[in-house]
Structure 1
Amino acid sequence: MTLDLQVAVVAFLAMALGEAWRVTVPGVVRDAPLAQATAVALAVSTAWPAGGADRAGPAGLIGPLLLACLATLAVAGVRGHWASLPHDLARTATTVLVAGVLARVSPPGIRSLYEQAGRLDPHAPFTALLLLGVAILAVGAPVVGRAVVHASVERRSLAAELGAHLVRHGPLILATASTAAVMALSLHVLGSASFLLFLVPMALLQPAVTRQRRIREAQRQTLFALSRLTDQAGLTTPGHATRVARLAVPVAREAGVEDADLADVEAAALLHDVGQVGLSRPIPGGATVEISLRDQRRVAATGAAILARTAELSRLAPIVADVGVPHHWAVERGDVATTSRVVRVVSAYDDLAGTGTRLGGAHNPVSAMERILRATPYEYDPDVVDGLIRHLVRTGALTGSDLARLRRLQPGARSGAPDRAS
């Protein structure tokens, strides 16, 4: 068996193994780092495919692309993963094409990275760094693509989605890209032995990455399960906590909350009403916006006391406790986190815009925002309220005429007196 054919066969087996053994978490996109590292190495290495005068040109990508797609298709056929096959093929093709095209770009008078990678010269360290950069772009391209699609479908901020996806997948992208770069540089010297030498460490790392993702997903599912306690007990309207969490994250971004704190925003929003389990008499519809400020603080304090008893959730106790603090008190205290202010505003909005309150009826964001604005800045943070309005306009929940109508009620256009007794 010639060297090139041996490299192709071993590479196919490595990619098939990578496709069959992925970083898999239920409900989370499945990554195939072993397959991607091998595909990138083939796309930029001079060790394969053999023959052909134009392998340094676009035609040289045909072999690696077909081999990688064939491995993806073969594993899907054996395991019956037909539903995810289009996404898997798109990931494979994107990885190979980005790596191969970038490596073959040749500015006038300069050899392409593909040509430099096959030679050891004094510029080898610089070539290796360039190759690592190309590998990072190639492995990260499918992640960026998923972020763009998700932002478009969910009508969310593209920058925020890109940041969230890159934070989640960044370490694995770097590990995969560095492995691919080292294999690409060594393939023409070590041949198929490169796969054994450099994929084994990645294979040993993969179970740890999978375990970490499973732990994080289990923690997140636990939060959602706890948030449904009040729904199951009939204390809140079905899905209230989930809706508040889904809306609080983009509003927090609008209000300037750092990306690192967005996980706490979601968690606090999910659990902000858990204190209602301690009420002797349920709130009609579970709408805390309809009760006095004293009772709101009691619900928040009870929820904080429950969370403080658990090691993992105790960090959320101060945030949940401060959800019951009206804005004018928060200004006096000076230490109420923006996270608490965001959850307070968004929870009130969901209570007022949905059913189960005095407003009742169909979803009415304009009426809900009018009432919130009449209580701003006495009860609600004006910056958070403005962030909520911007988000509702961006997602189409409010029209331009609605916005003009609401602007007349914003602080500065009217006094900040509350619309009800506390």
Structure 2
Amino acid sequence: MPGNREVAPIATAGALGYTLLFSVGGSETTHTALEVVAVTAVGMILGALPHLAVGRAPRLDAMARRVLAVALVAFVYRFLVPDVLGKEYKWTTLAVMTVLVVLAVLADAVIAAMLRAEQVRTAFGVAVRDELRIAAPLGAAVGASGILLALAAHSMGMAALLVFAAPLLVTQIAFRKYAGIRATYLQTVRALSRVTEVGGYVEPGHSRRVSRLAVAVGRELGLSEPELLELEYAALMHDIGQLSLRDPIPGGATVLTEPAQARRIAELGAAVIRQTGVLDRVAEIVRCQCDPYRGLDGGTPPPLASRIIKVANAYDDLLGGSADRDRAAAALERMRLDGGSEYDPAVVEAASRVIERLTPLHGL
């Protein structure tokens, strides 16, 4: 899923259904909140065994978040049932179920945002926004399935589990295919970006370094996950227009060429990307990557993603694969001395902060 997230609608919906259950076929259940947590944990461990068998380690943080969310619902709900809500399902019971599921989804999203903000070094507010954007539709589907499973078990008994497991299984298969398509798509873009390197038009590793720096700067500036994905695609293919040149630019450094030639390369690259029929926004980012910060002839400034690529490309053109801090400082100072004409000062400062963090680790 987006951002390398894990999604398990069957496991989570089943766990919530078991948590919210207090009657099966008209017979009252007696399981406690601790039993709910224990069964959920054991179920997740058993579900992880096939993955371990094929060498695919489960995400422990994701598993822990799910257990915590189920525990939150279980301890509150089992405390209310049956003493407060009674022994029959009513509108108040359904309302309590819905509120608890929403709180569990929010808690899971906040915890996931805290972990993600630390892992990818992005602002916590941005991480929360991205998690909620992803969690809202999935949480609604999973939560609704869990509630319906508990309600159906009241009258249908254990047959409800089979009735609701089938559509959830189809959902998970669809998600797996979607995730596989996304992974293949990104691999194809990365392979395409290497054409300029193989052809000797740019230095080896240039597109990858520009992409990493651009995505890191985008996170620093608060871009959302979909915007970061478009930025990554555009950064990987930002030099594809150089394939139209008869004679390669020395070192592939477009920052050292005439502005008119650099813009022509960007426009040719955008035209190539548009041929895919599905990357029009990425093509527009690539087309505007060489436009000055203040816009052509004082017009509209280029998109933020284009301004980020402009800075990241200039930095790598000036520095190459070197990790020398003095050269890095000189490259950033050169862009600062531009005075905000060609380069966006806010992007340059964001890049400076990112480089300061990553240079000692040789992460670029």
- Distance of 1:152 and 1:351 partners within structure 2: 29
For the Cα contact (< 8 Å) 1:300–1:322, is it kept in 2?
yes
What is the root-mean-square deviation in Å for CA atoms of aligned residues? 3.4
Q: 1:389 maps to which residue?
A: 352
Gaps of 5+ in 2: none
Q: Helix, strand or coil: the match of 1:248?
A: helix
Q: Is residue 171 from structure 1 mapped to residue 147 from structure 2 by the alignment? A: no
Instruction: Out of 71-80 and 261-270, give the one that drifted further.
Output: 71-80
Q: 1:40 to 1:114 in 2, by over 3 A?
A: farther
Q: 2:342 maps to which residue?
A: 379
Deviation of 1:333 after TM superposition, in Å, equals 2.3
How many residue pairs match? The answer is 355
For the Cα contact (< 8 Å) 2:65–2:111, is it kept in 1?
no
Instruction: Give the AA of the match of 1:44.
Output: L
Q: 2:181 maps to which residue?
A: 215
Deviation of 1:198 after TM superposition, in Å, equals 2.5
Q: 1:101 to 1:315 in 2, by over 3 A?
A: same
- Distance of 2:175 and 2:22 partners within structure 1: 31
Q: 1:29 to 1:342 in 2, by over 3 A?
A: closer
Deviation of 1:243 after TM superposition, in Å, equals 2.5
Q: 1:379 to 1:89 in 2, by over 3 A?
A: closer
Q: Is residue 71 from structure 1 mapped to residue 43 from structure 2 by the alignment? A: yes
Q: 1:44 maps to which residue?
A: 20
Q: Report the TM-score, using the length of structure 1 for normalisation.
A: 0.72
- Distance of 1:26 and 1:386 partners within structure 2: 27
- Distance of 1:121 and 1:308 partners within structure 2: 55
Q: Is residue 245 from structure 1 mapped to residue 216 from structure 2 by the alignment? A: no
The correspondence of residues 200-279 of structure 1 with structure 2, limited to 5 A, is 200-252=166-218, 255=221, 260-279=226-245
- Distance of 1:294 and 1:92 partners within structure 2: 54
Select which of 109, 125, 133 maps to 2:102: 133
Instruction: Give the AA of the match of 1:362.
Output: D
- Distance of 2:332 and 2:113 partners within structure 1: 30
Instruction: Out of 82-91 and 366-375, give the one that drifted further.
Output: 82-91
Q: 1:97 maps to which residue?
A: 71
For the Cα contact (< 8 Å) 2:69–2:105, is it kept in 1?
no
Q: 1:341 maps to which residue?
A: 307
1:217-267, Cα deviation, whole Å (9 max, x unpaired): 322222222122222223223332223223323434555756653332222
Q: Which has the higher contact order (CA 8 A, sep 6+)?
A: 2
Q: Is residue 362 from structure 1 mapped to residue 335 from structure 2 by the alignment? A: no
Deviation of 1:324 after TM superposition, in Å, equals 1.9
Q: Helix, strand or coil: the match of 2:255?
A: helix
Instruction: Give the AA of the match of 2:70.
Output: V
- Distance of 1:26 and 1:383 partners within structure 2: 27
- Distance of 1:309 and 1:83 partners within structure 2: 37
Fraction of identical pairs, as percent:
30
Deviation of 1:277 after TM superposition, in Å, equals 1.6
Q: 1:113 to 1:241 in 2, by over 3 A?
A: farther
Q: Report the TM-score, using the length of structure 2 for normalisation.
A: 0.82
Q: 1:184 maps to which residue?
A: 150
Instruction: Give the AA of the match of 2:8.
Output: A
For the Cα contact (< 8 Å) 1:251–1:391, is it kept in 2?
yes
Q: 1:84 maps to which residue?
A: 57
- Distance of 2:289 and 2:251 partners within structure 1: 19
Deviation of 1:365 after TM superposition, in Å, equals 2.8
Q: 1:47 to 1:237 in 2, by over 3 A?
A: farther
Instruction: Out of 187-196 and 342-351, give the one that drifted further.
Output: 187-196
Instruction: Give the AA of the match of 1:32.
Output: A
Q: 1:116 maps to which residue?
A: 85
